[in-house]
Amino acid sequence: MSAIKVGHRVAKTISRRHRQRVAIHQLCVLDDHTLKDVGLRRGQIPVLVEALSNGTALPPVTITHPADNSLTAQDTWQVAANDNDLESGGVRSRILIVDDEPFDIDLLKRELELLGHDTISAANRQQAFELIDTQRCDVMLLDVGMSKMDGYAVLEYGRSSHLPVIVISALDDLDNAARCIELGAEDYLPKPFSSILLKARINATLEKKRLRDEVTQQLAFIREIFGKYVPESVAEAIVASKGTLKPTQTTATILYADIEAFTSIAEGMAPERVMQMLNEYFVAVIEPITRYGGIVNQFQGDAMLVTFNVPLEDPYHADNAIKAALEVQKVLKGRTFAGVSLRTRIGINTGEVIAGNVGSGDRINYTVHGDAVNLAARLEQLNKDYGTRVLIAGTTVAALKSTHPIDPLGEVEIRGKNAPVQIFRLVA
């Protein structure tokens, strides 16, 4: 047993009324058996309570605390020092207690409430799962050695929900503790537990959770900001790979879209209105593109380069590109952007591309290269010759898995291509 001093100037540790109430409660709830164990007499309690209430000094009182056998003789138990009463005005932490013994639940609730925490409790497995799923919890205190439920299953469920778990159990053998740690428990505390150790381990677990939450929020912020400059899926891949994306070669469907007569429209407008028009336009057309799995790889003035099947695999990439093009045309019909009606020409082609980072030094860009990209852009331009809105290459039609409203237009010579290209028009 360790000797624990209740300091001769207890008043210094109770500068807050909350701390006074805590200290008085701690003293008054001790029964005669416990008082004998800790070396106090019932007659000393009123003196201590009075001193705690009015702030007067006391002579030194030394007590022994049988549960604190892991502490040294120099450790000081400041009866009134409850430094977790959230004087700073912070959000109180909420701790989930999972135990099938009502007495143990009540004991932990009293301890935790004295330490300034809110508590909720579960007496069976289903209650525990429901509270983990529906309630905000910062830490779970769990007894795995319960007769009425599988504590290990609750531990695994809690960790799968990213809830820190401290195991408090009468099963104090090393194998059981090791198993709990392997299953993801943050810490292990044997019963009967020390109030001081319980407080220290809860505080340490809450601090680790706070740091993890900060890192998670920072990564989410990075992805959000980064995702405004590159496709969200690319941003996540770059963050996960610590900035390195290996070049990949794959089959992709490319959708290239451009606003018809944009130069003529923009030259008579103020710059601010041009930017407003483009922003409203991009918001409208990107929604169906994203909904069908398209990734806006580049903005080139008023044009967009959209990829399907890269960087995210999509077995229906050809079908989804056509569906997205059809939806874009529907979105634009009868609508204005900054007061201007816009029409968009689209070219769609399927073929081999190389995707990866290009650039130098601190300036790099994720993009796709290949003849399939160039052909999609050429098809977009060919719409002017055919009086169409959407032209589709034969390679895309060959990759379709379902039927779409398309008509064949025959073959056409494309600059840079050795053989004629079969093309189709989308009937909007």
d(CA 371, CA 352): 8
Two structure tokens written together for 367:
């993009």
Q: What is the mean pLDDT of residues 200-226?
A: 78
Supply the pLDDT for residue 57.
Answer: 43
Supply the pLDDT for residue 180.
Answer: 84
- Could you give the percent of the chain with pLDDT greater than 70? 71
**In whole numbers, what is the pLDDT of the chain averaged over residues?**
77
Neighbour order of strands in the sheet with 165-169: 118-122, 94-98, 139-142, 165-169, 187-190
Q: What is the pLDDT of residues 337-378, one digit of tens each?
A: 999 999 999 999 999 999 887 777 667 777 899 999 999 999
- The whole model's pTM is what? 0.53
Query: What are the DSSP E strand ranges found in 44-200?
Result: 61-65, 94-98, 118-122, 139-142, 165-169, 187-190
Distance of CA 404 to the CA centre of its chain: 39
Q: Is 14 helix (H, G, I), strand (E, B) or coil?
A: coil
Indicate the class that CATH gives domain 94-223: alpha beta
* Planar angle of CA 337, 266, 415, nearest 5 degrees: 105
Two structure tokens written together for 197:
């150790």
**Does 1 have pLDDT greater than 70?**
no
Two structure tokens written together for 237:
């891949």
Supply the pLDDT for residue 225.
Answer: 60
Domain coordinates in residue numbering, the chain: 2-68, 94-223, 232-426
Supply the pLDDT for residue 191.
Answer: 81
Supply the pLDDT for residue 159.
Answer: 82
Superfamily of domain 232-426: Nucleotide cyclase, GGDEF domain (3.30.70.1230)
Supply the pLDDT for residue 354.
Answer: 92
Integer CA distances (angstroms), 213 to 31, 160, 221, in order: 42, 16, 12
Residues 6+ apart with CB under 8 A from 305: 254, 255, 256, 296, 297, 298, 367, 368, 373
Supply the pLDDT for residue 14.
Answer: 33
Integer CA distances (angstroms), 235 to 225, 238, 361, in order: 9, 5, 18
Supply the pLDDT for residue 402.
Answer: 95
CB 393 within 8 A of CB 428: no
Residues 6+ apart with CB under 8 A from 85: 16, 18, 19, 22, 116
- Give me the helix-helix angle, 195-226 and 232-240, nearest 10°: 130
Supply the pLDDT for residue 263.
Answer: 92
Under the banding of pLDDT at 50, 70 and 90, the label for residue 410 is very high
